[in-house]
Amino acid sequence: MEKRFETFTVLINRISRNIRKIKNQEMAEYNLRSAHISCLYYLYAARGLTATELCERCEEDKATISRALEYLEVNGFVSCDAKNAKRYKSPLLLTEKGTAFGKMISEKIDCVLEEVSVGLTEEERLSFYHGLTTISESLEAVAKNRGKQGITSPK
What per-residue confidence (pLDDT) applies to 88?
72
Q: Are 22 and 51 in contact (CB under 8 A)?
A: no
- Residue 152 pLDDT > 80, yes or no? no
Spatial separation of the C-alpha atoms in residues 71 and 60, rounded to whole Å: 16
Q: What is the distance in angstroms between the CA of the first residue and the CA of the last residue of the chain?
A: 22
pLDDT band at residue 144 using 50, 70 and 90 as cut-offs: confident
Give tens-digit pLDDT for 10-59: 999 999 999 989 988 988 899 999 899 999 999 999 998 999 999 999 98
| Average pLDDT value for residue range 124-134 | 94
**Exposed, middle or buried by CB within 10 Å (0-12, 13-18, 19+), for 33?**
middle
For 71-122, how does the pLDDT look when each residue is reduced to its tens digit (9 = 90+)? 999 999 999 876 665 667 788 999 999 999 999 999 999 999 999 999 999 9
Say if CB 79 and CB 73 are below 8 A apart.
Answer: yes
pLDDT of residue 83: 64
Instruction: Please state, in angstroms and as integers, the Cα–Cα distance from residue 95 to each residue in 32, 100, 107, following that order.
Output: 16, 9, 18
Give the pLDDT of residue 150.
62
**What residue spans of 47-150 are helical by DSSP H?**
51-58, 62-74, 96-117, 122-149
- Check residue 38 and give its pLDDT: 93
**Would you place residue 145 in the very low, low, confident or very high pLDDT band (cuts 50, 70, 90)?**
confident
pLDDT score, position 74: 95
